[in-house]
Amino acid sequence: MTDQPAFAAALMDPAQTAPAHLLNPFGGPAGKRFDVYRNNVAVSLTEALETGFPTVRKLVGAEFFRAMAGVFLRANPPEDPRLMLYGAKFPGFLARFDPVRHLPYLPDAARLDLGLRQSYHAADAPPFDTRGLDPAAVMALRPRLAPATLVLSSRFPVFSIWRANAEAHAPRPGTAPEDVLIARKGFDPAPHLLPPGGLTLARALKGRLTLAEAMARTLADHPEADFAALLTLVFTSGALTLHP
């Protein structure tokens, strides 16, 4: 029988030599020929992480990111062949990885990158269409968050950090915590800064309340909430869909 566990172990550990039954076809040990497989695994998984975590990569620099990805992928190879899901454990890894301890916002930046990718692949849903309805009828609807909608609450200015790394002339991030709404309009997910009360409103809508009930709950928790801004955001960002 084959010895795939030994092959796999040597593949993931550059310090090991290739298993002895692997040969150079001319009779010698496999040597550099085994490294082709080693290299394919490390490079392809590193590229998957680079594509999946562009904000983290910008924050730490390309070279440091590659080295860090190498540490992550050896301890956390993908759990299944869907590389679109790879890296779900990366934010948690960053929170425990000593060399980036001085960047405490890095795990949340990774969650935002991951959330955008999850949103990209999430199920389609009909848009929340209120055309032809009067305001009272709209308030009686029970919209729900679309499958591509995610909410991220952070102790850090994670939206501003994302923006500073994604846009050319974005303002420098401040220090105030920020909540982020990730929503997909058509096929392109985008992060939005959630104004005060936004997190409460989103949670209330997850609980299948009517829009009027969700707004009342938000107002109770956040008397300062700007409902015009909040409703404009949730209505125009693609965040909502109608209950089936």
Q: Going edge to edge, which strands form the sheet with 188-194?
A: 150-153, 179-185, 188-194
Angle 39-120-131 from CA coordinates, rounded to 5°: 175
What is the pattern of x (binds another protein, CB under 8 A) and - over residues 95-134? Answer: -------------------------xxxxx----------
**At closest approach, how far in Å is the CB of 87 from another protein?**
13
Of the candidate residues 13, 14, 17, 31, the single one contacting another protein (CB under 8 A): 31
The residue with tokens 């960047």 is: 103
Q: Is 80 in the site for another protein (CB under 8 A)?
A: yes
Amino acid identity, position 70? G
Q: Is 71 in the site for another protein (CB under 8 A)?
A: no
Own/partner pairs, 96-99, CB within 8 angstroms, 24+ separation: 97/68, 97/71, 97/72, 99/68
H or E element, residue 138: helix 135-139
**At closest approach, how far in Å is the CB of 205 from another protein?**
20
Q: Is 227 in the site for another protein (CB under 8 A)?
A: no
**At closest approach, how far in Å is the CB of 234 from another protein?**
20
Distance CA 130, CA 111 (A): 32
Amino acid identity, position 71? V
**At closest approach, how far in Å is the CB of 74 from another protein?**
10
Q: Interface residues with another protein (CB under 8 A)?
A: 1-2, 4-5, 7-8, 11-12, 18, 20-26, 28, 30-34, 36-37, 40-41, 44-45, 48, 76-84, 120-124, 147-148, 184, 187-188
